[in-house]
Structure 1
Amino acid sequence: MRVTPQGLYCIPGDFFIDPARPVPMAVITHGHSDHARPDHGRVLASAETLAVMRIRMGADRAGRQQQVVAMGEVVTHNGVQIRLVPAGHVLGSCQVVLDWQGSRIVISGDYKRRRDPTCALFEPVPCDVFVTEATFGLPVFRHPDAGAEIGRLLESLRLFPERTHLVGAYALGKAQRVIALLREAGWDRPIYLHGALLALCELYESLGVKLGPLAPVPVPAKRGGGGLLAGEVVLAPPSAEATAWVRRLAEPVICAASGWMRVRQRAKAKGVELPLIISDHADWDELLDTVAEVQAPEVWVTHGRDDALVHALALRGIRGRALHLLGRGDEEEDQAPAEVVAEATA
């Protein structure tokens, strides 16, 4: 493997993994925009990831040739065996397992180790080189149980029935996971969605992920009207909280579902009243546990807090290498600004 301006390049196979620029052949781990870019020639991915790409960028830009690779299926290209296994990040997310001349490298993409009712659980694969993310690669990041965080949301709904609870959640993966967790906790009322979340929730439903009754946030009867949906749950992109759209809602409790809500300053800066620490990435302990499970003597870190993780690996006798891939962390749970890191490490 070689690091290029386009991203990770498999030399003998002559293809890229999650390239940042259009290339002749790309293997895509999942549908978030910092990994799945438009206008490649040939795209290999899971059926779900290709469906997400078509929704987000249009069928004509999701790869001129789109090849579905089933989980566990082996595709050979220029002598390199390519296999996809679940990454547990979002629906259809995969690790890419490459075997060539007796050596194996696994590119994790983004991943989490917690159970998620909307996607398959991460599967560790023993390898010679493991390529990992490190979004939450600091010891301070130890994610609580997601079910307990949903319990905090339900308790707030009980305490403030006169207010709408507006949960900021990313459109792909996080929104659907929050909905599914609410259903598991017994919330059977309609969940209301900002228009930006509708298409991907409908796609999840079409792919067999049951989300229960959903509805778009209604338009007020008169211009400038508000006070809608008291006592209800509304999901919206995090950016919606700063727009006039939010005035439709009844004195909203601003919530946010993100691993970064572990950092008080982050929540305060964003005006979050009820931070929900729900992450779709591995935390510090899970990163280290995963490295131990795959038994790789060498670990490459694509993005995140690579310095801390590489140092921790060295103490365990594992060779670490920071790749500094450009363009990663632009979506799902973006990189922490310096002041957030300062607080987290204090």
Structure 2
Amino acid sequence: MRVTPLGLHCEPGGFFIDPIRPVDRAVVSHGHADHARPGHGAVLATAETLAIMRARMGEGAAGRQQQALAPGQVVTQNGVRVWLRPAGHVLGSAQICVEWRGSRIVVSGDYKRRFDPTCAGFEVEPAPDVFVTEATFALPVFRHPPAEAEIARLLRSVALFPGRTHVIGAYALGKAQRVIALLRAAGWERPIYLHGALLPLCRLYESFGVPLGELRPATVADKAQLVGAIVLAPPSAIADRWARRLQDPVVCLASGWMQVRQRARARGVELPLVISDHADWDELNRTVDEVGAPEVWVTHGRDDALVHAMAQRGLRGRALHLVGLGEEDEGGEADPAGGTGGTAGEPAGSGAASGTAIGAASGAASGTGEGTA
């Protein structure tokens, strides 16, 4: 497995994992636009991810050839075995497991470890030679509260201010559907109103058997209908003219970045909801320990803190600095250290990112970036 400017490249298999530009063969972990790009020749992914790509990009741009792979099903490409395990991030999200000549690598994609009624939960693929993980929230400050407790805070606010409209900024893929499902589980049976940008993917989730209850378009609703209602919209819409048409709105934003209160204040968020679709600091470290790989590569996020924490436990860590990841998910919020929530702008192929992982694991301890797995 080689790190290239296009992303992770499996040389013997002749395919890329979540490439950032069009390639002949791509294996895609999930449907967020920083991982699922248009224009590939052939795309391998879960059926749900392929459907999301078609919905967002159009049939022609989602891959000229599309192959759906169910979790646990194995395909072989040029002697390389590939299979998928659920990642728990959004509908259809998957970890990508690759095996060649007895060596095995697991690429997590984005993932979370909390229960989510709208997607399959994360499953550990034990003891690979290399585990490739994200690190979006890899700082000790990020310890996410239970999402159910955040929904309870929202519903207390709705009860306290019955004459106001609560408008929640929620990313269109994954976050919006999860917030809706959490509201239903908490007993909110009234219609939930949606910005038009959220409706298509909510309908797609329902087509895969995810119940979301009664959803109505907010744009055509009378202003009076929205008094005391809950409205969901993209994060970009909650502070613009679209939201100002609502009745004395309580502006909310559902994101892991809402744990950084100055971010909430900067965006004019009155009720920040710390609901993340990524693993937090403790969950990232627990996952690394549960997977049990002797070497861990970090694709994007706060890789320095995670690599340091792993070194304290005797694990080899390597920061890949993959360009382009983390730019769309969680609403594109910047991380508290001034990045973009990923590592866009870091030079791909610099330092440890120029390594390869092919063959036996005997060279993995090298500090030159030429380790193998």
The residue number in structure 1 matching 2:316 is 319
Q: CA RMSD in A?
A: 1.2
Instruction: Tell me if the contact between 1:48 and 1:92 (Cα under 8 Å) persists in the aligned partners.
Output: yes
Residue 265 of structure 1 pairs with residue 262 of structure 2: yes
Instruction: Tell me if the contact between 2:131 and 2:297 (Cα under 8 Å) persists in the aligned partners.
Output: yes
Instruction: Tell me if the contact between 1:136 and 1:305 (Cα under 8 Å) persists in the aligned partners.
Output: yes
Residues 81-106 of structure 1 deviation map (CA, whole Å, 9 limit, x = unaligned): 00001000000000000111111100
The residue number in structure 1 matching 2:280 is 283
Instruction: Tell me if the contact between 2:168 and 2:238 (Cα under 8 Å) persists in the aligned partners.
Output: no
Residue of 288, 291, 296 corresponding to 2:293: 296
Distance in 1 between residues matched to 2:208 and 2:336, nearest whole Å: 39
Quote the offset at 1:247 in angstroms: 2.3
Q: What amino acid sits opposite 2:156 in the alignment?
A: E
The residue number in structure 1 matching 2:214 is 213
The residue number in structure 2 matching 1:308 is 305
Q: What amino acid sits opposite 1:336 in the alignment?
A: A
Instruction: Tell me if the contact between 1:12 and 1:78 (Cα under 8 Å) persists in the aligned partners.
Output: yes
Quote the offset at 1:243 in angstroms: 1.9
Distance in 2 between residues matched to 1:220 and 1:42, nearest whole Å: 42
Residue of 229, 232, 246 corresponding to 1:232: 229
Which 4+ residue blocks in structure 1 deviate beyond 3 angstroms?
A: 218-221, 337-341
- SS of the aligned residue for 1:16 comes to strand
Distance 1:250 1:89, change over 3 A: same
Gaps of 5+ in 1: 342-346
Distance in 1 between residues matched to 2:250 and 2:161, nearest whole Å: 9
Q: What amino acid sits opposite 2:326 in the alignment?
A: G
- SS of the aligned residue for 1:196 comes to coil
1:147-296 superposed matches below 5 A: 147-219=148-220, 226=223, 229-296=226-293
The residue number in structure 2 matching 1:63 is 63
Q: What amino acid sits opposite 1:273 in the alignment?
A: E
Instruction: Tell me if the contact between 2:257 and 2:333 (Cα under 8 Å) persists in the aligned partners.
Output: no
The residue number in structure 2 matching 1:344 is none
Residues 161-217 of structure 1 deviation map (CA, whole Å, 9 limit, x = unaligned): 000000000000000000000000000000000000010000001111000000001
Instruction: Tell me if the contact between 1:227 and 1:248 (Cα under 8 Å) persists in the aligned partners.
Output: no
Instruction: Tell me if the contact between 1:25 and 1:41 (Cα under 8 Å) persists in the aligned partners.
Output: yes
Which is worse superposed, 236-245 or 79-88?
236-245
Quote the offset at 1:245 in angstroms: 1.1
- SS of the aligned residue for 1:242 comes to coil
Quote the offset at 1:241 in angstroms: 1.5
Distance in 2 between residues matched to 1:218 and 1:96, nearest whole Å: 39
Quote the offset at 1:220 in angstroms: 6.6
Distance in 2 between residues matched to 1:191 and 1:281, nearest whole Å: 25
Distance in 1 between residues matched to 2:243 and 2:280, nearest whole Å: 32
Instruction: Tell me if the contact between 1:220 and 1:248 (Cα under 8 Å) persists in the aligned partners.
Output: no
Gaps of 5+ in 2: 340-373
Residues 245-284 of structure 1 deviation map (CA, whole Å, 9 limit, x = unaligned): 1122110000010000101111110111001000000000
In the alignment of these two chains, the number of paired residues is 337
TM-score, with structure 1 as normaliser: 0.95
Which is worse superposed, 211-220 or 105-114?
211-220
What's the % identity of the aligned pairs? 71
Instruction: Tell me if the contact between 1:219 and 1:248 (Cα under 8 Å) persists in the aligned partners.
Output: no
TM-score, with structure 2 as normaliser: 0.88
Distance in 2 between residues matched to 1:322 and 1:241, nearest whole Å: 35
- SS of the aligned residue for 1:326 comes to coil
Distance in 2 between residues matched to 1:338 and 1:150, nearest whole Å: 24
